[in-house]
């Protein structure tokens, strides 16, 4: 009675070994590909800023930033997201003192942004600072007009299916602190860029990020 159990267990063990081997090879291949992309993106940004990371003012802090960047890549951050992180790292390394904690804050925030969210942030910031929506005389901006233009722009660009989809993207972006839902003029409430988005746009060229290939 025990023999079938032994055979079954051996077969199950062998199948598990084969599966683990195949999974291990696939995982190693994925990680190699992610590592190659991350290395290419970072090298380009460091070269652009004429930085040799080995010459960083504080090597420990620089190493911590690189480690966090590698971890973001390992976790599956897309090329565009890595491009943002690499540009922030390059900017931080050129402006001592270097604090890895500042990079860590941006890394955790930006690593999982979707392509649609990246485009939405860029267009929201652009339109918010467009004089066309400034009522002047100290009056609140035309938030309704701004929001409608944003929805139109994103739908036409293929970043959203319709206006409800844009509202959903904006709502999801509230988790980042880059977009806030705040009371505006004339009794309305709107999704608006936060000061943190202004800070981010001083570190990252979003138009170049959007133009970055997906892979």
pLDDT in tens, the chain (215 residues): 444 444 445 454 445 565 556 556 666 676 778 888 888 998 899 889 888 777 765 678 888 888 899 899 989 999 999 999 999 999 988 887 888 899 999 999 999 999 999 999 999 999 999 888 887 665 668 888 899 999 999 999 999 999 999 999 999 999 999 999 987 655 678 999 999 999 999 999 999 999 887 66
Could you tell me if 170 and 120 are in contact, meaning their C-beta atoms sit under 8 angstroms apart?
yes
* Three-class SS state of 26: helix
Domains and CATH numbers, the chain: 2-110 (no CATH), 115-211 (1.10.10)
- Which of 208, 202, 212 shows the shortest CA–CA distance to 129? 202
Could you tell me if 120 and 169 are in contact, meaning their C-beta atoms sit under 8 angstroms apart?
yes
Structure tokens of 56?
């960083």
What pTM does this model have?
Answer: 0.81
Instruction: Tell the burial category of 126 from Cβ atoms under 10 Å away from its Cβ (0-12, 13-18, 19+).
Output: middle
* Three-class SS state of 109: helix
């Amino acid at each position: 009675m025990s023999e079938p159990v032994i055979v079954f267990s051996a077969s199950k063990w062998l199948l598990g070994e084969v599966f683990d081997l195949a999974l291990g090879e696939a995982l190693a291949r994925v990680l190699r590909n992610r590592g190659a992309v991350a290395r290419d993106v970072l090298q380009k940004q460091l070269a652009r800023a004429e930085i040799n990371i080995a010459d960083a003012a504080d090597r420990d802090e620089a190493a911590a930033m690189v480690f966090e960047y590698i971890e973001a890549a390992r976790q599956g951050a897309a090329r565009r997201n890595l491009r943002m992180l690499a540009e922030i790292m390059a900017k931080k390394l050129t402006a001592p003192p270097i604090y890895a904690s500042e990079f860590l804050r941006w890394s955790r925030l930006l690593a999982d942004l979707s392509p649609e969210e990246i485009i939405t942030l860029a267009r929201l910031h652009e339109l918010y600072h467009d004089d066309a929506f400034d009522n002047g005389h100290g009056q609140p901006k035309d938030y309704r007009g701004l929001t409608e233009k944003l929805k139109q722009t994103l739908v036409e660009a293929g970043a959203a299916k319709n206006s409800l989809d844009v509202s959903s993207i904006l709502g999801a972006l509230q988790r980042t602190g880059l977009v806030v839902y705040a009371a505006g003029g004339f009794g309305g409430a709107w999704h608006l860029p936060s000061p943190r988005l202004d800070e981010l746009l001083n570190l990252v060229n979003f138009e170049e990020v959007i133009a970055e290939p997906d892979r």
